[in-house]
Structure 1
Amino acid sequence: MRRDPVSGAAPAPLLFDIPRSGRWYPGDFKPATSFDLVQASVSMYVEELYERVVDAGATWLYALFPNAYIDANRHETDFGPEQLAGPWTGHLEPTEKTRLGIGLIHSVAGRDRIPLYDRPLEVSDVRQRIDRYFLPYHGELGRVLAAYRETHGVSYHVSCHSMASIGGASTLDHGAQRSEFDIGDRHGTSCEPAFTALVCDTLRGFGYQVTNNFHYAGAESVRRHSKPGQGSHSLQIEIRRGLYMDEARSVPNAGFASLQAHLTELSRVLADYARSRAAAPSA
């Protein structure tokens, strides 16, 4: 789902993408575990936290499908042959995320890493998840950013996520308390330093604890769509979920409205920055 700047807002070459918060479950998704465990992997309510960025002139792009079905923040080769009922025709490159059960096609659910399926998946099933969900989402994201660069010479992209307050069993920081915000720019390689600094400084100005590339440095959404040398700048924002939701009950808490207001103000700051860096449109 895509929303463009509202009427009257000065458009900015700025896009916020929400790739791991979808809660529309395709009919062919048949996990062997409970819905509650499947739902626990979703970065809940992130699309609502950022829904007012269009008022600032930014574009909002939201993956409706859940990351447990196919994870838009992974590379399309990041799964293992042991997950399949037959041979895969093509290259696979499973990473540590696949070993942890949270690669392109998740194999576990919940903090206790309960198996998500009771049998290997059909090759045709995985193919259609890639072809019908993963690639179209990234195709649309890439088209919007390319249009920005064609018109303005630059594109700015913020990939929006949330993280459990304590690292879970499927994470590299298992058992650790997370910072309130972690900003990932792939260790300074995915966007210009001034853009990262503006995000960090603005959030710190609101009073938040902010780290940089500490819990998550940025995954596929940032890697795939960033070429700072060619004017394409991407970074990832991770929010500690306890700031805005009751993690045990999966419902918003009293901090939701304040955080949403701060993220809306952040979008205004970033939109102004993106407009200031944009080249004048061709006559």
Structure 2
Amino acid sequence: MIPASLLSSIPGVLDVQGPITSPRCVVYDSPHSGLDLPRDFHPAVDQEMVLKASDSYVDELFAHAPHTGAPLLRALFPRSFLDVNRAENDVDLAMIEGHWPYPVAGSSAAQRGMGLAWRFAWGDTLMHDRLLTVAEMQNRIDQYWTPYHNRLKALLDQTYQAFGRVYHINCHSMPAFGHALSPDPAGTRRPDFVIGDFDGQSAERSFVDMIKTSLSDMGYDVVLNKPFRGAELIRRYCDPARGRHSVQIEVNRALYMDEATRAKSAGFARIQSDLAKLSENVEGYAASALKG
């Protein structure tokens, strides 16, 4: 059983849907589906612009996961306010007032304005009309990044201790085309799904192949690691040699929503149903791995 403390919500920060059936050695998380604007967030753009980068409905797309015995953790705040899929030191110094007193990662994402907190709302439109203070950025880390990572780590550790292995599915969506802030060139048409395993480093290949084959057999165009190989939430918690496997799944938003209005499209039900089938396949793979 998963302790009740790990299934409790933190208002405005995270919630967890616990397993509806007997727990299995699988954990899901949706770090970018949050839409609640924190009270201490004062962007210079409207709410629609803030939420443009959110993985709208991804938590709903993977809602079947608890029915297969897996908890589903989700963040409640927008990724552009604070992106828990970045390292805590991936601070964009161009948006900080004064001296940041800690080391920084200097990642390519931060250089594009998509670091721990987003400098740009979209394109070249600034998220804030002023620089953030050191205290403001530190508060975002303390109040949002740290609780989310602590909870995910605890869920993964609890599952690993119970079963001797854990399979982690990190759930995301992506715009249909590359854009000014993305790692691929603007206008690049993207596949239906991108599976990220950190270029083969975050999970055993048979697990990744099962996911890819499952989606391909459903008729989807599936690519590995391009343009997204996964980021902090799989890098930080994977250790395949010890039975800790993490995979990132990116779903093309054009399959299930209107990107301009963020409204669900007619394709939503099919994607949700197919991802429920994928969750069943993941559970079956994990069960077989425990027996083997």
Please tell me the residue identity of whatever aligns with 1:136. Answer: P
Where does 1:208-219 land on structure 2 (aligned, <5 Å)? 208-219=220-231
Shift of 1:279: 6.8
Task: State percent identity of aligned pairs.
Answer: 37
Q: Which amino acid aligns with 2:28?
A: F
Amino acid paired to 2:112: L
* CA distance in 2: counterparts of 1:242 and 1:232, whole angstroms: 32
Matched residue type, 2:274: H
TM-score, normalised with respect to structure 1? 0.95
1:39 is aligned to 51
Aligned 8 A contact 2:92 2:119 in 1: no
Determine the C-alpha separation between the residues in 2 that align with 1:38 and 1:209: 29
Are residues 1:3 and 2:10 paired?
A: no
After superposition, the C-alpha distances for 1:123-146 in whole angstroms (9 at most, x for unaligned) are 111111111110110111011111
Contact 1:183 1:217 in 2 (8 A): yes
1:141-160 Cα offsets, whole Å, 9 max, x none, are 01111111111110100100
Q: Contact 1:152 / 1:279 at 8 angstroms: preserved in 2?
A: no
CA distance in 1, matches of 2:94, 2:200: 35
* 1:186–1:217 contact (8 Å) kept in structure 2: yes
Tell me how far 1:15 sits from its aligned partner.
0.9
| One-letter amino acid of the counterpart of residue 5, structure 1 | P
The offset of 1:10, in angstroms, is 3.0
Candidates 59, 68, 72, aligned match of 1:60 = 72
Instruction: List alignment gaps of at least 5 residues for structure 2.
Output: 1-14
Any gaps of 5 or more consecutive residues in structure 1? none
**Distance (Å, rounded) in 2 between the aligned partners of 1:82 and 1:166:** 27
On the 8 A contact 1:85/1:120 being kept in 2, the answer is yes
How far apart, in 2, do the equivalents of 1:113 and 1:259 lie? 32
Contact between 2:29 and 2:74, CA under 8 Å: does it hold in 1?
yes
Count of equivalent residues:
277
Per-residue Cα deviation, 1:169-223 (whole angstroms, up to 9, x for no partner) = 1012121000000000011100000110010000011110100011100011111
Q: What is the Cα-based RMSD across aligned positions, in Å?
A: 1.2
SS at structure 1 position matched to 2:260: coil
Given the two structures, how large is their TM-score scaled by the length of structure 2? 0.92
